């Protein structure tokens, strides 16, 4: 069987120009100097992820992991280079996008779902499943502002977990709520991730999670790929490196 690529990234460069917010006074007086600062977060990386593959990204803080993930999700635009998703739908698994606190849980499911790019009908069709998974009972028709923080994150997690896309991007494996829900959500995550048709990119610091879940691990260091390959060897090398530096 020929395996197709789900994500192809070529020479991706992302820099944070000196885009700091400025006051008008500053920009009037320092028009010239503005262009000097240029922080390159990702320095021309290339990699590809096959359909159904689970790629883990590891690296110390500030190595460009999350920037890469955000670029894949389309939140950042690359300064140069290319990201080709081959027409797959993609979403960054994130919690509570676009919630309106005064609205009920049910309405927020719709709001959040539509924001993630699903149609009204698609969200409607999965609504029951989300409500059931979130275990909120009658609270689903109460305003979200009355929720406890645990209930809030349970609802948010359920929305993102049940409305699934071809490619999922995960910034730190999430587990929320009380012990019981934590187990359940972790299990659900694992199930989502290990679905053989789903392509997943996980950013994490947790070595054991990556070892358990991933097919390939990519180690990023200062915006470049230091190693990419089998989880076992890359992770070992990474641990050695972190302990010795």
Partner 1 sequence: MIKRFRMDLKKYWRYSIYSARSQLKSEVANSYLNWLWWILEPFCFMLIYAFIFGEVFNAKEPYFPIFIFVGNTMWIFFSKTMNQSVRLVKQNKSIVSKVYLPKYILLVTKVMVNAFKMAVSAMIIVGMLIFYRVPVTWNVLYAIPLAVTLILVCFGLGCYLMHYGVFIEDLTNIVSIVLRLLLYLTGIFWDIMKRLPAPYNMYVCRLNPIAFLISSMRDCVIYGQTPHRKLMLIWFLIGCLISALGIRKIYKNENSYVKVI
Q: Which is nearer to partner 1, 146 or 233 (CB)?
A: 146
- Residues 131-190 contacting partner 1, CB under 8 A: 143
Give, in order, the Cα–Cα distances in Å from 223 to each of 14, 171, 217, 219, 229.
9, 17, 15, 10, 17
Determine the size of the site formed for partner 1 (CB under 8 A). Answer: 37
The answer to whether 104 touches 144, Cβ cutoff 8 Å, is yes
With contacts defined by CB under 8 A, name the span among 18-26, 43-51, 81-89, 213-221 that binds partner 1: 18-26
* Residue of 54, 58, 92, 193 that binds partner 1 (CB under 8 A): 92
Element spanning 8, H or E: strand 5-17
Query: If binding is defined by CB under 8 A, does position 114 make contact with partner 1?
Result: yes
Angle at which helices 120-134 and 105-115 pack, to 10 degrees? 130
Strands 199-203 and 216-221: unpaired
Distance CA 108, CA 21 (A): 32
- What is the smallest separation between the CB atom of 132 and partner 1, expressed in angstroms? 23
Query: If binding is defined by CB under 8 A, does position 111 make contact with partner 1?
Result: yes
Query: If binding is defined by CB under 8 A, does position 30 make contact with partner 1?
Result: no
b/e map 158-177, b = 16+ CB within 10 Å: bbbbbbebbbbbbbebbbbb
Query: If binding is defined by CB under 8 A, does position 100 make contact with partner 1?
Result: yes
Q: What angle do CA 47, 200, 159 make, to 5 degrees?
A: 145
Q: Is 167 helix (H, G, I), strand (E, B) or coil?
A: strand
With contacts defined by CB under 8 A, name the span among 22-30, 128-136, 185-193, 206-214 that binds partner 1: 22-30
Q: Which is nearer to partner 1, 75 or 239 (CB)?
A: 75
- What is the smallest separation between the CB atom of 23 and partner 1, expressed in angstroms? 5
- What is the smallest separation between the CB atom of 16 and partner 1, expressed in angstroms? 5
- What is the smallest separation between the CB atom of 172 and partner 1, expressed in angstroms? 14
Q: What is the binding site for partner 1 (CB under 8 A)?
A: 16-17, 19-25, 27, 70, 73-77, 91-92, 94, 96-103, 107, 110-111, 114-117, 119-120, 143
């Amino acid at each position: 069987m020929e395996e197709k690529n789900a994500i192809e990234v070529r020479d991706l460069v992302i820099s944070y120009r000196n885009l700091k917010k400025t006051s008008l006074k500053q920009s009037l007086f320092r028009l010239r100097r503005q262009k000097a600062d240029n922080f390159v977060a990702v320095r021309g990386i290339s990699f590809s992820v096959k359909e159904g593959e689970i790629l883990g990204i590891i690296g110390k803080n500030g190595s460009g992991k999350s920037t890469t993930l955000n670029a894949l999700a389309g939140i950042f635009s690359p300064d140069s280079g290319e990201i080709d998703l081959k027409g797959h739908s993609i979403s960054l698994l994130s919690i509570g996008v676009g919630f309106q606190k005064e609205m009920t849980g049910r309405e927020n499911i719709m709001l959040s779902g539509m924001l993630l790019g699903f149609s009204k009908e698609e969200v409607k069709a999965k609504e029951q499943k989300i409500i059931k998974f979130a275990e909120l009972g009658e609270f689903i028709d109460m305003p979200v502002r009355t929720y406890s923080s645990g209930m809030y994150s349970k609802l948010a997690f359920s929305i993102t977990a049940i409305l699934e896309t071809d490619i999922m991007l995960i910034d730190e494996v999430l587990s929320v709520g009380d012990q019981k829900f934590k187990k359940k959500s972790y299990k659900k995550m694992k199930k989502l991730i290990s679905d053989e048709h789903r392509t997943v990119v996980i950013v994490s610091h947790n070595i054991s999670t990556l070892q358990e879940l991933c097919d390939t691990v990519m180690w990023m260091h200062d915006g470049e790929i230091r190693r990419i390959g089998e989880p076992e060897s890359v992770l070992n090398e990474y641990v050695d490196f972190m302990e010795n530096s």
